[in-house]
Amino acid sequence: MQIVHKTILAACVASALGAAAVPAGAADTAVAARLKELEKKLEQSMRMIEALQDKVNRLEGGAAARPGHAAADEQGARLENLERQVSQLGSGMFSRTGAEDGLPLHGFADVGMFRSGENNAVYGRGNKGFMVGSLDLYLTPQFGDRVKALVETVIEVDRDGSAVVDLERVQAGYTFSDALTAWIGRFHTPYGYWNTAFHHGAQIQTSILRPRFLDFEDKGGILPAHTVGGWLTGVLDAGPVRVGYDAYAGNAPHIEGAAPSAPSLLRMGELNMKAAGSGSHRTSSGFNAWFTPKSQSSLRLGVHGLRANVADDLGNDTRVGMLGAYGVWIDDDWEVLGEYYHFQNRDLSGGTGRRGSNAWYLQAGYNFGLATPFARLERTRLDQNDNYFASQLSGRSYDRLALGMRYELNQKSALKFELNRTRQKDLVAADGITPAPDDAFIEALMQFAIRF
Amino acid sequence: MKISPKLVAALLLAGGGALPPGAWAQQVVVIANPGVQVGAGDIGDIFLGEKQFAGSVKLVPVDNAGLQAAFLSKAMNMDANKYNGRWVKKSFRDGVNPPPLKSGDAEVTEYVKRTPGAVGYVGSVPAGVTVVNKY
């Protein structure tokens, strides 16, 4: 009996020590409070274990006094119940708190190293070395049954190494039903799949890099990854399928920093989301509609569109019109993502008329347990006579093939490796006028991504 | 006095945050607050945050640490890693929080009884709740 007591005591002490190790990095007071709480739980556990052992003793005594199958069955059932209680007792030391116990802070962070062979007059020479990606912190407070908010801040490092704090999302919402939630604020623009599913969540994204044309506005993207405005979203039960939708409207982006040094073609503009509004208000609006068969929940197929009146510092005014489609297949083995964007942009300030462009990517990964190798092909053909693309630094066409591997260190951290070959098109020489040949280069990247 | 090796194993495994091997054979009973009208077919969507309302009632799913592995295996056809991964993505995109994790049957039962819209799961049928399904 003493051996049993020691074994149980050792298990409990191990539990307490294991749990106590969790907040090791917290402030002393928090550690002390946690330890006190654990001691209290340990005492309660010991009392309960003693009570359970008394029950075991009584059961064994009772079984001896009542021979037969019925008694044995009853004893077995009771022992099973006791085992479950004891199991739950231990598990309880690691309970996840609910909304009523405080507001949990979530986040993502990533660090790594890379080497880029890029070398051209537009984007310069590619960086090499260790790098800090971003620190993303987000909160999801709930205010009663229907009112909620999503607040996200990102601290990221620019190409020159300086840290920038970005108010990524600030959105407040009201949920009327499963079919309708209304949000207002700054949110991730719900086009396609990637932008809302992964965004700054490097740890939940299989690859290291996003498809470049879907990158953030200041990182190479050609679309407004964020919108400041209103957003309606929901999911409808339509018999054999689930149908989801997004409908949104907000401030149109403005292309800033286009460097109006004509005749130079070396435009350096970036999309600004106009989070504080603007004197000459222009609007953007869009939709996303998708469906998932209930019998095949791994599949999602959708269509999406965006329309925005976008001006730039050069006085150009363009009505951007995007329509596209996407498909996603994610099961235990495969992750296949594909998105297509077709642009039909109209020049409102000049006489260049309508210009067509397109962009797409296709990515496939296969899960071998902890390792997921993947490949992605991406391509853009962006009309350089379209002011919307010509004014943006990132508005030049390119092809890219990326190969990589994601390795799960544990549930909350992943190590990723990626190698890509990019052919950058629509380049100009240092004089900003003379067309330059394509720049084909290779990049190698490693990333350590965590979530908490 | 001779104590069951299974009991000791359960204690050791519970201390490490894992479940005893017998968990897979455990009965799982999904229960709901008496005011909730949901069916067995809704359970998966409720615990993944896809179904948040039953009529005008806001649903409040709650996890049970002692039975989670058995519940996820039997009712959701997934393991804890996949379940947590789904919730991270859901929470990040939609601002919906995952179910709170209670320590065991007693805590879950008490929570379901006192919380309108609550849906949880336990090892045996308690009084004062609606049984949604048994696995």
C-alpha distances (whole Å) from A263 to each of A260, A267, A317, A431, B70 are: 8, 10, 18, 10, 69
- Closest in B17, B51, B58 to A94, CB measured: B17
Per-residue model confidence (pLDDT) at position A84:
54
Nearest CA among A264, A251, A134 for reference residue A200? A134
Question: Which residues in A4-123 belong to E strands, given as ranges?
Answer: 105-116, 119-120
Q: Are A206 and A303 in contact (CB under 8 A)?
A: no
Q: How confident is the model at residue A161 (pLDDT cuts 50, 70, 90)?
A: confident
Q: Taking CB atoms and an 8 Å cutoff, what residues of chain B touch A175? A: 52-53
Q: Are A287 and A245 in contact (CB under 8 A)?
A: yes
**Token representation of residue B7:** 């009991």
Per-residue model confidence (pLDDT) at position A279:
78
B42 touches chain A (CB under 8 A): no
Closest residue in A to B41 (Cα) is A294
B72 touches chain A (CB under 8 A): no
d(CA B25, CA B30): 16
Coil vs helix vs strand at A325: strand
DSSP string computed for A111-177: EEEEEE--EETTTEEPPEEEEEEEEEEEE--EETTTEEEEEEEEEEE-TTS-EEEEEEEEEEEEEEE
Mean pLDDT, residues A310-317 taken together? 90
Q: Per-residue pLDDT for A4 more than 90? A: no
Mean pLDDT, residues A244-272 taken together? 84
Given phi > 0 = left and psi -120 to 50 = alpha, else beta, which region is A44? Answer: alpha
How do residues A219-237 score in pLDDT, each as one tens digit? 889 999 999 999 999 999 9
Per-residue model confidence (pLDDT) at position A407:
98
CB-based contacts of A204, cutoff 8 Å, min separation 6: A108, A197, A198, A451, B85, B88, B89, B92
pTM (two decimals): 0.80
- Closest in B15, B53, B58 to A14, CB measured: B15
Q: Taking CB atoms and an 8 Å cutoff, what residues of chain B touch A89? A: 14, 66, 103-104
Per-residue model confidence (pLDDT) at position A6:
47
B104/A85 Cβ within 8 A: yes
B123/A81 Cβ within 8 A: yes
Q: How confident is the model at residue A38 (pLDDT cuts 50, 70, 90)?
A: low
Closest residue in A to B5 (Cα) is A4
Which segment, A30-39, A93-102, A358-367, is predicted with the most confidence on average?
A358-367
Higher pLDDT, A73 or B27: B27
In total, chain A counts a number of residues equal to 452
Higher pLDDT, A54 or A7: A54
How do residues A369-411 score in pLDDT, each as one tens digit? 999 999 999 999 999 999 999 999 999 999 999 999 999 999 9
Q: How confident is the model at residue B8 (pLDDT cuts 50, 70, 90)?
A: very low
B21 touches chain A (CB under 8 A): no
d(CA A411, CA B88): 11
d(CA A270, CA A313): 10
Q: How confident is the model at residue A359 (pLDDT cuts 50, 70, 90)?
A: very high
Per-residue model confidence (pLDDT) at position A218:
84
Q: Are A377 and A398 in contact (CB under 8 A)?
A: no
Q: Taking CB atoms and an 8 Å cutoff, what residues of chain B touch A98? A: 62, 97, 99-101
Give the pairing type, strands A427-428 and B63-64.
unpaired
- Closest in B4, B8, B95 to A79, CB measured: B4
DSSP state of A313: T
Q: What angle do CA A309, A361, A132 make, to 5 degrees?
A: 85
Give the pairing type, strands A299-312 and A254-256.
parallel
CB-based contacts of A326, cutoff 8 Å, min separation 6: A192, A193, A290, A301, A302, A303, A304, A337, A338, A339, A340
**Token representation of residue A302:** 């959708």
Distance from CA of A34 to the nearest CA of B (A): 17
Nearest CA among A19, A347, A397 for reference residue A212? A397
Q: Are A376 and A368 in contact (CB under 8 A)?
A: no
Q: Per-residue pLDDT for A78 more than 70? A: no
Identify residue A33 by its one-letter amino acid code: A
B125 touches chain A (CB under 8 A): no
Identify residue A339 by its one-letter amino acid code: E
- Closest in B19, B51, B93 to A178, CB measured: B51
Q: Are A79 and B4 in contact (CB under 8 A)?
A: yes
- Closest in B4, B58, B66 to A145, CB measured: B58
Distance from CA of A88 to the nearest CA of B (A): 4
Q: Taking CB atoms and an 8 Å cutoff, what residues of chain A touch B66? A: 84-85, 87-89, 91-92
Locus of tokens 């549930």: A411
ipTM, two decimals, is 0.81
At B133, give phi and psi (nearest 5°).
-165, 160
Coil vs helix vs strand at B82: helix
Per-residue model confidence (pLDDT) at position B16:
42
- Closest in B7, B62, B64 to A83, CB measured: B7
Exposed (0-12), middle (13-18) or buried (19+): which is A77, by Cβ within 10 Å? exposed
Strand partners, A343: A322, A357
d(CA B99, CA B122): 15
Looking at domain B27-134, its CATH architecture is: 3-Layer(aba) Sandwich (3.40)
Mean predicted lDDT score pLDDT of chain A: 85
How do residues A167-192 score in pLDDT, each as one tens digit? 999 999 999 999 999 999 999 999 99
**Token representation of residue A134:** 């971003």
Higher pLDDT, B12 or B79: B79
Domain boundaries, chain B: 27-134
Distance from CA of B81 to the nearest CA of A (A): 6
Q: Are A251 and A283 in contact (CB under 8 A)?
A: yes
Q: Per-residue pLDDT for A1 more than 80? A: no
Q: Are B52 and B110 in contact (CB under 8 A)?
A: no
Q: Per-residue pLDDT for B17 more than 80? A: no
Per-residue model confidence (pLDDT) at position A273:
85
